[in-house]
Amino acid sequence: MATLQDLKNELKKLNAEYAKIKDLPADQRADFGKQLNIKKQQLNAEIAAAEAAAEQEDVAPLDISAPCDINGQLPTFLTADNGSKHPLMTELDRVIAIYQSMGFDIAESVQLDDEFHMFDSLNFAKGHPARDGYDTFRTEEGFIPPAHTSTMQNRVLKANAHKLAEGKAIAVAVPGRVYRNEDVDATHEHTFYQCEGVYVSEDCTLGNMLGILREFFEKYYGQKLNIKTQPGYFPFTEPSLEFLIEKPASLGGKGDGWLEMLGCGMIHPNVLKAAGIDPTNYQGFAWGGGIDRLVMLRYGLTDVRNFESAKLDFLKEFAC
């Protein structure tokens, strides 16, 4: 008996036949088209029946308490032609490629972390209200699904400190998934993506940072941009800034709309010290901003919730 996939393949072939109609002599077209329509109706009915039968099939429930047999049968995955890459992952690849082209190494952020990396190592004083500003989830055991990719700064600095001793700079971009316990609406999600940038050398300046950020955004949006900064506050930078771009006309801007794209600043000496780097010899800058927001501006999207929604209609618009 033909499987559901066989029937779908047959339908695909049949649909391709319609293109032949225009090449037929005029007096044969109507009849040819009619035959195709009849076959198509039959096939669609068979597909519907096969789909209904598949839904009735008993699927053995997964025993999640069973011990894992790593030599057992491998899971069967859907074939790639049944799906496509999520738009955020496509865009994240673009972001990573830009940072790599600028000489940055890439390190992925963790998805479960602890108080030290999320707060202590980033110069958040114990009990300081700034900790509350991050709306962090916590597990019963006290672990934290990180609320920002800055949670990686201490690890990235420690792992690359040897480069400073070799006279090189630390330059790392850290993409990752982050979580915040906040009310969800068109511009706020509990789960989203950020990308962090960390740069440390003997003599880097805020001016260098602004140059890097300008280049990143101009490469990502493929055009010249107006940029500006305004004062911000983060315990892990001093001074702290917010980095804004003016919404370009090509992306629906009218010349007066400034968009805050990320937080940034010179890395606080205490953050360098916590990673064993001497702040009297070295200085650095860092930034972190949302990927979802970056992508929304690029494609004129208005509802961030679509990314996590699994709405196929939305996702298919980006399938390639």
Asked if 229 interacts with ligand DAH (CB under 6 A), we say no
Q: Is the Cβ of residue 176 or residue 263 nearer to ligand DAH in the bound state?
A: 263
Tokens of 156: 């990235």
Closer CB to ligand DAH, residue 87 or residue 197?
197
Which stretch, 73-81, 82-90, 233-241, 303-311, contacts ligand DAH (CB under 6 A)? 233-241
3-state SS assignment for residue 231: strand
Selection from 230, 257, 236, 231 nearest residue 246 by Cα: 257
Q: Tell me if 237 contacts ligand DAH by CB under 6 A.
A: yes
User: Binding segment for ligand DAH among 12-20, 43-51, 282-290, 294-302 (CB under 6 A)?
Assistant: 282-290
The token duo for 136 is 């962090």
154 is a contact residue toward ligand DAH (CB under 6 A): no
Task: Say whether residue 288 binds ligand DAH (CB under 6 A).
Answer: yes
CA 276 – CA 154 distance, rounded (Å): 9
Buried b / exposed e over 135-160, threshold 16 CB at 10 Å, is ebeeeeeeebbbbbbbbbbbbbbeeb
Only segment of 6-14, 51-59, 168-176, 263-271 that touches ligand DAH (CB under 6 A): 263-271
220/236 with CB nearer ligand DAH: 236
Instruction: Compute the distance between CA of residue 234 and CA of residue 14 in angstroms, rounded to an integer.
Output: 61
Question: How far apart, in whole angstroms, are the C-alpha atoms of residue 289 and residue 129?
Answer: 21
d(CA 132, CA 104): 32
Q: Among 117, 148, 177, 293, which residue sits at the site for ligand DAH (rule: CB under 6 A)?
A: 148
Q: Which residues pair with 174 in a beta bridge?
A: 196
Sign of the alpha-carbon dihedral angle for 111, 148, 248, 212: negative
192: contact with ligand DAH by CB under 6 A: no
Piece of the chain touching ligand DAH by CB under 6 A; list 97-105, 113-121, 213-221, 257-265: 257-265
For ligand DAH, the closer of residues 204 and 286 by Cβ is 286
Binding site for ligand DAH (CB under 6 A): 148, 150, 196, 234, 236-237, 263-265, 286-288
